[in-house]
Amino acid sequence: MKKLLLLVLIFSACTTLAQEKWGDLKKNKLTMKEIPPVWPGCSGSIEEIDACFNQQLSKHIMSNFKYPTKEYEKNIQGRVVVSFKINTKGFVEITGVTGGNKGLQEAAKRNILKIPQLTPGMMGGKAREINMRVPFNFKTNK
């Protein structure tokens, strides 16, 4: 009887830890909570962290946006999409760039590479890579 009681207590403790720390256990199915990367200075609930991240990323892109002089003077326009990941250490790694010409692509990559080190995203209590894509629209007023 004591062994059965001990076994029930251990199982209850494990279930409680799983629910609080990493996710929910419902009908024998474990649902893991994904925590997005955290921009320096952001805090709060997962929704608040995510909203803050998006706001800070937009602010970063706008403040670091530079139209390459050569392309601007030649009225070269285009849409560039930068694919990148935030690795398990919180650093940005470019995984791909499409659209535009080489000069526009390099400008967009430089902007993304200036993102500061972040707290990495988490899943199940472990750091994980998060993939992202950001479009850049280069248009002149000429």
Predicted local confidence at residue 21, as pLDDT: 44
Give residue 8's pLDDT band: very low, low, confident or very high (50, 70, 90). very low
- How high is the mean pLDDT of the chain? 84
> What is residue 59's predicted lDDT score, i.e. its pLDDT?
97
Tell whether pTM > 0.85: no
Residue 109 pLDDT > 60, yes or no? yes
End-to-end CA distance of the chain: 84
Q: List pLDDT tens digits, range 60-107.
A: 999 999 999 999 999 999 999 999 999 999 999 999 999 999 999 999
Residues near 70 by Cβ (< 8 Å), separated by ≥ 6? 76, 103
Report whether pLDDT(111) > 90.
yes
> In angstroms, rounded to a whole number, what is the distance separating the alpha carbons of residues 142 and 72?
9
Which of 138, 142, 132 has its CA nearest to residue 54?
132
Res 22: pLDDT: 46
In the prediction, which pLDDT does 142 show? Answer: 64
Q: What is the Cα–Cα distance from 91 to 61, expressed in whole angstroms?
A: 16
**C-alpha distance from residue 57 to each of 6, 31, 73, 118, 138 (Å):** 50, 28, 28, 11, 18
Average pLDDT over residues 28-34: 65
Determine how many CB atoms are found less than 10 A away from the CB of residue 84. 20
Residue 106 CA to its chain's centroid (Å):
21
φ and ψ at residue 137, rounded to 5 degrees? -110, 110
- Cβ-contact 75, 63 below 8 angstroms: no
